[in-house]
């Protein structure tokens, strides 16, 4: 695998669940940047928005998320601190067949020298950590009207949730969600997670910085027209966000504690690491405004010669049919419904253009 400014993730599966990650040097990478010994830039990264909804506000989470999306999406991600508490502890649900299993989490935020240790280890590449990623399981119930979850095929993290179990410095590398979907990440228990996020409107700037200042040209020469975005899609590239700051790419951070949610928005690059042993759950979701991003994502996939994962056209047409049968159709419509209608019309127009061109060959 080819990777980033001083860090090359070598991953191998263990029984299909645990990923062992070795952070090693890669001689093919131009070292235009050295990991700074003084991490002054850590405090220069602003926090992402934090929302604290009441129980009434969070009664319908998707209504609340749709309300905050216009503001929060400008930052690429946000954190939600909810007063909602599970009626049954997640450990009882996840470990119901393993009653003897338990752990006691000692939570402590990283100090500056420990941040230095993380990025220093990324530079040296001498340590190995375990990350239980994409594990089947959920402690939440499913929604009967989940169109994405009812689509054909079982897609981990998209049509059903997945668990992540991390240890100190377990890393999730820079990436965007498949097909530029939203994601919701819930932290069940254990040590905090550190997140970095770049808003979707700055994704092209992120790609340019990665292409110009992270990857060796020899590596990029093997990716063809797909470029840096294809390499980042492998989810094995990690580099410090100060590189982005130095080139005026907006970056925000979050420290996610147990019981908190982190939401990422369409085409928002994000990365981070665990501050110790923890367990969380994640899944993708979408609102009507995602169909615009889904169309853009389809173009990016085609440009990168990547196989699509979601049946975008099918999902769009089904949503348009549901909208046309709505009792409010043509009278009043929500912002989400307006986005569905607009995306459907744009899609049909693009198909008509293709047919016209084929007819005139």
* Residue ending a domain, choose from 289, 320, 339: 289
Does residue 1 lie within any of the structural domains?
Answer: no
pLDDT confidence of residue 83: 80
Tell me the residue range of the domain where 164 lies. 8-289
Phi, psi of 328 (to 5 degrees): -95, 5
Measure CA of the first residue to CA of the last residue in the chain; give whole Å: 43
Phi, psi of 219 (to 5 degrees): -70, -45
Query: Are residue 123 and residue 255 in the same domain, yes or no?
Result: yes
Does residue 204 lie within any of the structural domains?
Answer: yes
CA 348 to each of CA 266, 276, 297, 313, 352: distance values in angstroms, whole numbers, following the listed order: 23, 50, 17, 10, 6
pLDDT confidence of residue 29: 40
* Residue ending a domain, choose from 241, 257, 289: 289
pLDDT confidence of residue 30: 35
Across residues 279-301, what is the average pLDDT? Answer: 92
Q: Convert the pLDDT of each residue in 291-312 to its tens digit.
A: 999 999 998 888 888 888 888 9
Q: Convert the pLDDT of each residue in 10-50 to its tens digit.
A: 443 333 344 445 544 333 343 444 554 456 787 789 999 99
Query: Are residue 77 and residue 206 in the same domain, yes or no?
Result: yes
Maximum C-alpha span of the chain: 71
Q: Which of 194-208, 231-245, 298-312 has the highest mean pLDDT?
A: 194-208
Say how far apart CA 284 and CA 297 lie, in whole Å.
Answer: 15
pTM of the model: 0.78
Query: Are residue 326 and residue 200 in the same domain, yes or no?
Result: no
Please give the torsion angle defined by the CA atoms of residues 143, 145, 146 and 150, in that order, rounded to the nearest 10 degrees: 110
**CATH number of the domain enclosing 87:** 2.60.120.650
Does residue 299 lie within any of the structural domains?
Answer: no
The closest of 12, 1, 18, 10 to 167, measured between CA atoms, is 18
Query: Are residue 333 and residue 211 in the same domain, yes or no?
Result: no
Buried b (16+ CB within 10 A) or exposed e, 278-305: bbbbbbbbbbbbbbbbbbbbbebbeeee
Query: Are residue 285 and residue 161 in the same domain, yes or no?
Result: yes
Query: Are residue 279 and residue 331 in the same domain, yes or no?
Result: no
Query: Are residue 80 and residue 29 in the same domain, yes or no?
Result: yes
Query: Are residue 226 and residue 346 in the same domain, yes or no?
Result: no
Higher per-residue confidence, 229 vs 74: 74
Does residue 295 lie within any of the structural domains?
Answer: no
Query: Are residue 57 and residue 114 in the same domain, yes or no?
Result: yes
pLDDT confidence of residue 26: 39
Q: Which of 35-44, 120-129, 218-227, 268-277 has the lowest mean pLDDT?
A: 120-129
Query: Are residue 58 and residue 104 in the same domain, yes or no?
Result: yes
Does residue 331 lie within any of the structural domains?
Answer: yes
Query: Are residue 144 and residue 285 in the same domain, yes or no?
Result: yes
Provide the number of structural domains found in the chain: 2
């Amino acid at each position: 695998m080819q990777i980033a400014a001083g860090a090359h993730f070598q991953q191998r599966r263990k029984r299909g669940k645990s990923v062992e990650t070795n952070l090693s040097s890669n001689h093919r990478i131009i070292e235009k940047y050295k990991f700074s010994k003084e991490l002054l830039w850590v405090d220069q990264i602003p926090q992402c928005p934090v929302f604290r909804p009441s129980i009434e506000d969070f009664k319908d989470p998707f209504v609340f998320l749709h309300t905050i999306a216009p503001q929060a999406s400008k930052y690429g991600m946000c954190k939600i601190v909810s007063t909602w508490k599970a009626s049954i502890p997640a450990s009882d649900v996840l470990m119901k067949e393993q009653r003897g299993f338990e752990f006691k989490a000692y939570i402590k935020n990283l100090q500056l020298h420990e941040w230095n240790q993380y990025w220093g280890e990324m530079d040296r590449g001498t340590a190995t950590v375990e990350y239980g990623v994409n594990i089947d399981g959920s402690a939440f119930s499913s929604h009967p009207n989940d169109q994405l979850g009812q689509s054909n095929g079982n897609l981990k993290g998209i049509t059903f949730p997945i668990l992540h179990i991390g240890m100190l410095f377990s890393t999730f590398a820079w990436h965007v969600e498949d097909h530029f979907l939203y994601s919701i990440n819930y932290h069940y228990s254990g040590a905090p997670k550190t997140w970095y996020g770049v808003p979707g409107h700055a994704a092209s700037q992120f790609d340019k910085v990665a292409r110009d200042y992270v990857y060796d040209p020899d590596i990029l020469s093997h990716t063809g027209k797909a470029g840096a975005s294809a390499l980042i899609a492998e989810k094995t590239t990690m580099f410090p966000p100060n590189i982005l700051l130095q080139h005026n790419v907006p970056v925000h951070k979050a420290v996610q504690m147990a019981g908190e949610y982190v939401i990422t928005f369409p085409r928002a690059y994000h990365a981070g690491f665990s501050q110790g042993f923890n367990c969380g759950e994640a899944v993708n979701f979408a609102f009507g405004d995602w169909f615009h991003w889904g169309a853009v994502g389809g173009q990016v996939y085609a440009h990168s010669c990547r196989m699509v994962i979601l049946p975008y056209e099918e999902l769009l047409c089904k949503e348009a049919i549901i909208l046309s049968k709505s009792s409010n159709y043509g009278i009043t419509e929500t912002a989400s419904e307006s986005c569905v209608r607009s995306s459907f019309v744009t899609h049909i127009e693009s198909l008509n253009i293709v047919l016209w061109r084929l007819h005139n060959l």
